[in-house]
Structure 1
Amino acid sequence: MSYFSDVDIRKALNKDIVIEPFLPDCLTPIGYDFRVGDFVFSLEKGLLDLVDKYYELPPKSTIQILTMELLWVSPRVGGTFHSKVSLVSKGLSHISTTLDPQWYGRLLITLRNNTDTPIRIKIGETFVTLIFARVRTPTRSPHNKPPLREDILLNQLNQQTDNYIKKITSLLNNKTAEASFEKKVRDANQPMVTKVVSSVRSMDREERLHLVLKGALVSAIMFLAVLNFLWNFIKPLFNGIAYDSKVFAVQVTAIIALISLLVTISKKPS
């Protein structure tokens, strides 16, 4: 198992990892910071109200928070959740857990306020870091955990107020918020050939011509690079002349010229 750096996460976006919405500022050198969403629940006090963009976490209480972001990972990716030092220093501890491959949906994160005083946390504030890891062999076992951890949330319905019930029902039925996320997951699951064809189709005519020209130049460079091995097969096209220092000089000159042209074309805006 190997960890993803910020570079790896960017490369995996919309392929093995979908985060919606994705904010570059939430990317860390070795993970991604998830933000407080609009559901914060105390096991001791019930559903917490948002006041002036802040939730007040009761002292000596266990808190469940749904992330603002939706997340999907492929069978090749798992992860672990870690506390942020800025919150730990205030007295909040994170109850560690793991991310299973093939997870789909929002994340339900549990915190603990260990202090004797309330702690305020702002909606949209980052509060937990997810470190992604690539598993050695893609899993074939579904994680069997419902999105949003509906099993945990719905299990508490009978004990809570009408306000809590309305909040959960709203979250579970909010399909509009997941539309963009679902599309990105479908796109990420497409075969690579389909993705390439789709990408080419999305280009305008000038971009496609530019791509074809670069491909032709690369092919020509590769052909010239192995010309000496192919010469016996193609020398009849050149009146049967032998491969000598003159042919080699022309070969090297042509390769340098084509590479220079390729570099020049690549620098032009598409």
Structure 2
Amino acid sequence: MEAIWNWVNENSDLILHYALQGVIALIIFFIGLKLAKLSAKLTIKAFSKRNVDKAVGSFVANIAYAIVFAATLLMALSQVGIETTSFIAILGAAGLAVGLALQGSLSNFASGVLIIMLRPFKSGDYIEAGGKAGSVQKIEIFSTELRTPDNKVIVMPNSSIMSGAIVNYSREKTRRIDLVIGVGYDADLREAKAVLKSVLDNEPRILKEPAYTVAVLELADSSVNFVVRPWVETQEYWPTYFTLVENIKIALDDANITIPFPQMDVHLHKDQ
């Protein structure tokens, strides 16, 4: 124990120096951590003031946080006497090895950059991509968060979104509803067409332009199929869709026009 105290007394100046450097390094690290968080918040605030899509602001804020955090870490290490030049070289070599091992993550990062640059969708859009569908909540560095209509959260890798087709249901202001309505072969086609048109004319959410389409689509096995294609505002698509299906059924019933079940006629011939 006496030997330890003697060593401490002999090297007190050196111990004090390194202790002071360690304290300064910790102060730098914690201040830098606060600055990284502050820079992310200021980035989001600046983007929101300019009415930039919040998904883009979130993505850029994450990058700003990562840059400030990395700079802070290097400054703290330099303060305790670690050569940052050699450390950067080691970090670069390690980064190369990690990059090769994490090609999927790098692909997600590159895909995230492409999403921000190409803007195939924005926050709030309802999209279908990678076999999933939902409203875009935010775009992160490696993933994009979607929220389904039944309030489930889907976190999708950016690479899976950019590797296939992206269907954006919200970009255009209007959408077309496509319905196929079948009536029996014994029905009066002119009367059935008039009934379908009357239902569309009485629905106020259907747009006058472009004009709707009601026409015979095909002579199917069990029914004569009409195609009904009205246009509505995008946000009114599903409410109008549900209302039309119900009102068409009621109107056809009132006109005594049947919507037939799938059926097959069997003819029996008696062999004499």
Structure-2-length-normalised TM-score: 0.26
**Whose relative contact order is higher, 1 or 2, with alpha carbons under 8 Å and at least 6 apart?**
1
Which of the two has greater helix per residue? 2
Structure-1-length-normalised TM-score: 0.26
Which of the two has greater strand per residue? 1
